[in-house]
Amino acid sequence: MPIPWSNTEVELIIQDYFAMLTDELTGKDVNKTKHRKRLKPLLNNRSDGSIEFKHQNISAVLAILGQPYIMGYKPRYNYQKVLDDVVIDYLMANPSMENWFRGFAAKEVETNVEAINFNKLVVDPPEENVAREPGRSAYGRRAIKTNYILQEQYNQKTGLAGEKLAIEFEKWHLNTIGKEALAARIEWVSQTEGDGLGFDILSYNPNGTDKYIEVKTTKLTKEAPFYFTKNELKFSLEKQRSYHLYRFFEFEKSPKMFRKNGDLHSICYSEPEIFKGYF
């Protein structure tokens, strides 16, 4: 049976993680192997796989806290409770990290549609991940009050770039299968009618039926959480058969997309983040 990580080991790996994260957020190359080799002798005979998994656990804590994480370490949520506390302690002791998180959210990204190979744009959605225990660090201590993953989603220029790419992909797809007339009818409704309809793009299935597309875009990996409104949820429930989530990820370096069809309750694990009170 694996020996649980000690507090000292957790502190050491968190320090190493944030050193890599800071480099990544400032545009420097990150050599994960080099970091692991330097860290390994300081730990209690941990395997490379164990160290890798712990880094992914730290990514999960940051994702729950609404903060960016290292691209090469996708979040894995089954971790020791002590990890929440030590990550938060680190952030409280290093408030300058918030500057890097703020810069991540504010950075605007465009993409050159002509350079994208639409044949390779779509990939499989994320694997089923272990759902975290409700109410862990998300509703407890928070070293940083701003949710910078949410702020990134509100970045208008990046969001519009994702929607534009989705439209071009839909046109390419319909034109490729000989449905040019349908491709010409695609409408960017979030721009023509406003963003309160519950979806962004009206496209069409090959048989001519409506296809409602909601686009969410991130510079992070496909496992990054996304946020949706009550109105978007309601519309997805009303139009679940024809409702599609297009999730663009790694949008800054090499845009990719996965798609899921159905209402937002059924295609992802979700939890409430805000409540409205009346008197």
Tens digit of each residue's pLDDT (9 = 90 or more) over 124-158: 999 876 555 444 544 466 789 999 999 999 999 99
The mean pLDDT value of the chain amounts to 92
Please, are residues 248 and 165 in contact by the beta-carbon 8 Å criterion? yes
Q: Domain check: are 155 and 81 in the same one?
A: no
How far apart, in whole angstroms, are the C-alpha atoms of residue 27 and residue 24?
5
Give me the pLDDT at residue 210, please.
98
If one compares 131 and 220, the residue with the highest pLDDT of the two is: 220
Q: Domain check: are 68 and 142 in the same one?
A: no
Domain hosting residue 66, numbered range: 1-94
Domain edge (last residue) among 94, 119, 143: 94
Strand segments, DSSP code E, in the chain are 201-204, 210-217, 243-249, 256-261
Please, are residues 217 and 248 in contact by the beta-carbon 8 Å criterion? yes
Q: Which range among 39-48, 76-85, 176-185, 247-256 shows the weakest confidence by mean pLDDT? A: 76-85
Q: Domain check: are 9 and 140 in the same one?
A: no
Residue reference for tokens 């880094």 = 55
Domain edge (last residue) among 69, 94, 119: 94
Give me the pLDDT at residue 161, please.
96
CA geometry: angle 174, 202, 194, nearest 5 deg: 145
Tally of structural domains, the chain:
2
Give me the pLDDT at residue 128, please.
73
Q: Domain check: are 79 and 188 in the same one?
A: no
Give me the pLDDT at residue 140, please.
61
If one compares 190 and 130, the residue with the highest pLDDT of the two is: 190
Q: Domain check: are 49 and 118 in the same one?
A: no
CA geometry: angle 70, 72, 75, nearest 5 deg: 70
- Give 223-238 pLDDT, tens digit per residue: 999 999 999 999 999 9
Give me the pLDDT at residue 110, please.
82
In a domain, 101, yes or no: no
Domain edge (last residue) among 61, 94, 127: 94
Give me the pLDDT at residue 95, please.
95
Pairing of strands 201-204, 243-249: unpaired
Q: What is the pTM of this model?
A: 0.91
In a domain, 227, yes or no: yes
Average pLDDT score over residue span 58-65: 94
